[in-house]
Amino acid sequence: MLRFVILAVLVFIAYRLLVGSLKGRREVEKKAGPPNSDAKVSDVLVEDPVCHTLVPRQQAIHLQHKGEIIYFCSEKCCNIFIQQGEEK
């Protein structure tokens, strides 16, 4: 009889743990919501031609060169690019 009571208590505890974890997952999913496929990209990454660092376009230093806009991670890289162009 005692074995039956202990087994019933263990089954009840396992059931409560399982239901509680599933309930927690559902609440997290409700808070997160579905993925927003209509989200717009606010900025894109551009590559610095000197050091090949990726930089958000809005934060990059830019230079108009031969009708093309070139983006740099810093003024140092921009100056190196200008110096390399003068050497050629």
CATH number of the domain where residue 71 is located: 2.30.170
- What per-residue confidence (pLDDT) applies to 84? 87
> Alpha-carbon distance 78 to 88, whole Å?
16
pTM (predicted TM-score): 0.52
Q: Is residue 40 part of a domain?
A: no
3-state DSSP call for residue 31? helix
- Higher-pLDDT residue of 34 and 64 is 64
Please give the tally of structural domains in the chain: 2
- What per-residue confidence (pLDDT) applies to 70? 93
Q: Sorting pLDDT into bands at 50, 70 and 90, what band is 45?
A: very high
Q: Is residue 39 part of a domain?
A: no
Could you tell me the sign of the dihedral formed by the alpha carbons of 24, 27, 31, 37, in that order? positive
Q: Are 79 and 54 in contact (CB under 8 A)?
A: no
Q: What residues make up the domain containing 19? A: 1-34
**49 & 82 share domain:** yes
Q: Where are the beta strands (DSSP E) in the chain?
A: 45-47, 54-56, 61-65, 68-72
Q: Are 50 and 23 in contact (CB under 8 A)?
A: no
Q: Is residue 22 part of a domain?
A: yes
Q: Sorting pLDDT into bands at 50, 70 and 90, what band is 34?
A: low
Q: Is residue 50 part of a domain?
A: yes
